[in-house]
Amino acid sequence: MCAAFNDNQNPIWTFGYTPAKAGFYVLRVRSVNDAGEHSPESAFAELQVDD
């Protein structure tokens, strides 16, 4: 079950991921509201993974 949020809140979340090899990765996320509607654009974080 998800916590209740309003449109003015930014929930804090974590995501564990170990890439298979070194390289450049882009993590993209989109929100989904209670009505099941997705955000129009994804947010992203660029990750450079070194050996």
DSSP tag of 38: B
| Stated pTM of the model | 0.60
How many C-beta neighbours within 10 Å does residue 31 have? 13
Residue 21 CA from chain centroid, whole number = 21
What is the predicted pLDDT for the residue at 28? 92
Q: In this predicted model, what pLDDT tens digit does every residue of 12-24 receive, in sequence order? A: 788 888 899 999 9
What pLDDT, on the 0 to 100 scale, is given for residue 42?
92
Is the model's pLDDT at 1 over the cut of 60? no
Q: What are the structural domain ranges in the chain? A: 19-51
